[in-house]
């Protein structure tokens, strides 16, 4: 019934299986990719005709995780999967980025890729499996895809690279989490987070990954040779595109060249719009006019790229290595815990840091289990930042991706939760954009966190690099403009400290780049990063001493695990009472870590003393404040440490003459100061008042010595 084709290889110590012909047979291409016990069904459907009236390639990639893959039922009221999670959105982008440049230029048919996680072994991340399966499905589909591509995750531990480390190793042991994808010839995409590794180590990881996925590419080719569908027929345009381009050049090339002599973005856009309108007005045929809109970008690209390669002259007249003027400011906003305004040329990010408590942590329900995240970074890109009136709503894929890149860049420098128990939320509002607002977010995040008193190990900065490549000639551009990004061949972002790289992201718009180009880009990015760090240092070089007055005060203490129930109380009665009376917030972890937060120092101290009194054990020789709870003929019982009582024998009430009755010295309800002088045979606490100055709390025995 089924014509099943399967290819198996041993890869990174586990078996990779690619199977087609059994599932989703009505899709143009369908592959069940399995690695270990993680399985992803990858399907491709390509429309047979182009979508009319568009000048872009309509590719959509959807990666979706089904909770049954990990033997779970979705949370929430509806009990079914809902809107894509951040992980699903980021993985969709991860797959889209390396496959998009490999479709035949001019192909305008809609292509939809859907990757469904069917099984997750909680060891092998499905993202690489989905990427490999997508590559195989595209090669089987008959769509004009110039693949295949391969992909791999690379870790780094004890000076050695690790191919496809397990999720646990990546989280807890590896100094690097790098995903690389590319063709047989070169690299197309890199995404990584690193613990301040050198450029040499990062480049080595990329090269190691490229070499490591070559067997995967070979396996996909062999599967395609056995099971691929016939290639799609690509319709030829009835129009003479060369003639249309000639008309455009005659009508507006000089105007376009003049527009690209304008360094100001707004003025340049106005001149470009006028030049395009003039050119389109010279073409009467509607079909030719529609084709001309797509050809305009090629004409613009030739002008910008040719100038850079021939003369080294960029749009704003910088050379290839110069970074635009930088202005860094901190402490701009009142009441916020930390704020920064980072301006680089015509790109500007206003970044605000807020400190919260453990109750503000984000609970993330992932396939591999629920966990809490205490560092949140949200990136917003309003339309006014590029002078447009546009949609305002929930964040899109681009905003989520840019925010995650900045998150990866800063995360390795954060103090541990034990050393700094705050929940951190950073919001980057892009107020102007003309090139790499994500790297401006990295710089602004570093400054705002330091302004908030967060003790970062070192400041972090980022820079975006571009590439213009024609044949053997190439130019690497530091701190690219928006136009250089759109018309160039590479978007290469590097973030890090003066010690090393913390995040690297690369996207290539051509079929691949060489290792030589990557090396040049990394070295040039390092020089640019050092310059930016120097400019940032004019505003702030390290964290402020102490958090903002408007931030919650917080301390973290450790109590014995068997004392947790004493602090919580029956049904949470005790902890609720502490919070209501003192106004503090209290979080208790299973390991006995207690985090106490309050706006006022007095509230913090009161809550801390209360928790301490409930969990501490009496110490011989230590003086405590207490309250007389009962008087008897032989002494007084004093409550002095939470629920703990001790006996002050009548002989220990006063240093004066022994009283005839206890009530001559104290009565029930009196506040007294007592010293622990020992324990009786039954472990009961013995207290003394006479060795303590009841006014000052001074230890009279110690003073006498």
Q: Where is the binding site for Mg(2+), in residues?
A: 485, 491
Q: How far apart are CA 575 and CA 123, in angstroms?
A: 38
Q: How far apart are CA 14 and CA 162, in angstroms?
A: 13
User: DSSP code of 618?
Assistant: P
Per the CB < 8 A criterion, the answer to whether 475 and 309 are in contact is: yes
Contacts of 352 (CB under 8 A, 6+ apart): 333, 336, 338, 339, 426, 427, 429, 448
CA angle 389, 392, 394 (to 5 degrees): 155
Per the CB < 8 A criterion, the answer to whether 40 and 30 are in contact is: no
Output the 3-class SS for 359-412: HHCEEEEECCEEEEECEEEEEECCHHHHCCCCCCCCCCHHHHHHHHHHHHHHHH
For 637-658, b/e burial (b = at least 16 CB within 10 A) is: bbbbbbebbbbbebebbbeeee
Q: Which of 409, 415, 414, 442 is nearest to 428 (CA)?
A: 442
User: How many Cα atoms sit within 13 Å of 282 on the Cβ side?
Assistant: 18
Bridge partners (DSSP) of residue 148 are none
The pair phi, psi for residue 272, each rounded to 5°, is -65, -40
Strands 423-432 and 375-380: parallel
Task: Please classify residue 427 by burial: count the beta carbons closer than 10 Å to its beta carbon, then call 0-12 exposed, 13-18 middle and 19+ buried.
Answer: buried
Q: Which of 427, 265, 422 is nearest to 359 (CA)?
A: 422
Task: Please classify residue 309 by burial: count the beta carbons closer than 10 Å to its beta carbon, then call 0-12 exposed, 13-18 middle and 19+ buried.
Answer: middle
Strands 362-366 and 150-157: unpaired
Give the chain's length: 705
Annotated binding site: 485, 491
Helices (H), 284-387: 286-311
Q: Which helix (H) or strand (E) holds 59?
A: strand 59-65
């Amino acid at each position: 019934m089924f014509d099943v084709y399967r290819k198996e290889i041993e890869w990174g110590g586990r078996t990779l299986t690619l199977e087609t012909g059994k599932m989703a047979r009505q899709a143009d291409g369908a592959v069940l990719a399995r690695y270990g016990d993680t399985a992803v069904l990858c399907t491709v459907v390509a429309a047979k005709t182009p979508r009319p009236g568009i000048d872009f390639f309509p590719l959509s990639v959807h990666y979706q995780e089904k909770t049954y893959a990990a033997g779970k039922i979705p949370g929430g009221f509806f009990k079914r999967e809902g809107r894509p999670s951040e992980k699903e959105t980021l993985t969709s982008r991860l797959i889209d980025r390396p496959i998009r440049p490999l479709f035949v230029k001019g192909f305008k048919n809609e292509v939809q890729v859907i990757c469904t996680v069917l099984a997750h072994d909680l060891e092998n991340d499905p993202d690489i499996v989905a990427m490999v399966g997508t590559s195989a499905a595209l090669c089987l589909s008959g769509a004009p895809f110039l693949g295949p591509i391969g992909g791999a995750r690379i870790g780094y531990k004890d000076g050695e690279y690790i191919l496809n480390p397990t999720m646990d190793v990546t989280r807890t042991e590896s100094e690097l989490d790098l995903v690389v994808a590319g063709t047989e010839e070169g690299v197309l995409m890199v995404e990584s987070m690193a613990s301040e590794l050198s450029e040499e180590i990062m480049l080595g990881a990329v090269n190691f990954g490229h070499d490591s996925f070559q067997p995967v590419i070979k396996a996909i080719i062999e599967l395609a040779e056995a099971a691929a569908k016939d290639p799609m027929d690509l319709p030829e345009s009835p129009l003479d595109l060369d003639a249309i381009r000639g008309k455009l050049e005659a009508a507006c090339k000089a105007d376009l060249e003049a527009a690209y002599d304008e360094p100001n973005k707004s003025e340049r856009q106005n001149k470009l719009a006028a030049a395009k309108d003039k050119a389109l007005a010279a073409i009467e045929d509607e079909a030719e006019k529609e084709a001309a809109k797509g050809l305009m970008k090629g004409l613009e690209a030739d002008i910008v790229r040719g100038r850079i390669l021939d003369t080294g002259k960029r749009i704003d007249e910088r050379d290839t290595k110069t970074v635009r003027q930088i202005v860094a400011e901190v402490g701009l906003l009142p009441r916020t815990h930390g704020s920064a305004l980072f301006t680089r040329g015509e790109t500007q990010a206003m970044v605000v840091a807020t400190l919260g408590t453990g109750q503000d942590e984000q609970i993330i329900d992932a396939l591999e289990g629920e966990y809490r995240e205490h560092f949140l970074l949200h990136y917003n890109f309003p339309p006014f930042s590029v002078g447009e009136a546009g949609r305002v709503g929930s964040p899109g894929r681009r905003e989520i991706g840019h925010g995650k890149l900045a998150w990866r860049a800063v995360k390795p420098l954060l103090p541990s939760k034990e050393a700094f128990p705050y929940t951190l939320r950073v919001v980057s509002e892009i107020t102007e954009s003309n090139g790499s607002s994500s790297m401006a977010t990295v710089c602004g995040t570093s400054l705002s966190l330091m302004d908030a008193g967060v003790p970062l190990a070192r400041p972090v900065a980022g820079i975006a690099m571009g590439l213009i490549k024609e044949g053997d000639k190439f130019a690497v551009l530091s701190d690219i403009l928006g136009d250089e990004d759109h018309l160039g061949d590479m978007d290469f972002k590097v973030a890090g400290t003066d010690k090393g790289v913390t995040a690297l992201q690369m996207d290539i718009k051509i079929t691949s780049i060489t290792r030589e180009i990557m090396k040049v880009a990394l070295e040039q990015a390092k020089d640019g990063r050092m310059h930016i760090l120097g400019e940032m240092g004019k505003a702030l070089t390290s964290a402020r001493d102490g958090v903002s007055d408007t931030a919650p005060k917080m301390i973290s203490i450790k109590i014995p695990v068997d004392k947790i129930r004493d602090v919580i109380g029956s049904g949470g009665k005790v902890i609720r009472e502490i919070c209501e009376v003192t106004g503090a917030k209290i979080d208790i972890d299973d390991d006995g870590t207690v985090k106490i937060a309050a706006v006022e120092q007095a509230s913090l101290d009161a809550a801390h003393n209360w928790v301490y009194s409930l969990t501490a054990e009496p110490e011989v020789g230590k003086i405590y404040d207490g309250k007389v709870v009962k008087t008897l003929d032989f002494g007084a019982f004093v409550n002095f440490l939470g629920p703990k009582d001790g006996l002050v024998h009548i002989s220990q009430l006063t240093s004066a003459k022994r009283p005839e009755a206890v009530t001559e010295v104290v009565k029930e309800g009196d506040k007294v100061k007592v010293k622990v002088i020992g324990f009786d045979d039954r472990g009961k606490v013995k207290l003394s008042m006479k060795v303590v100055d009841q006014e000052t709390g001074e230890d009279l025995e110690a003073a006498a010595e």
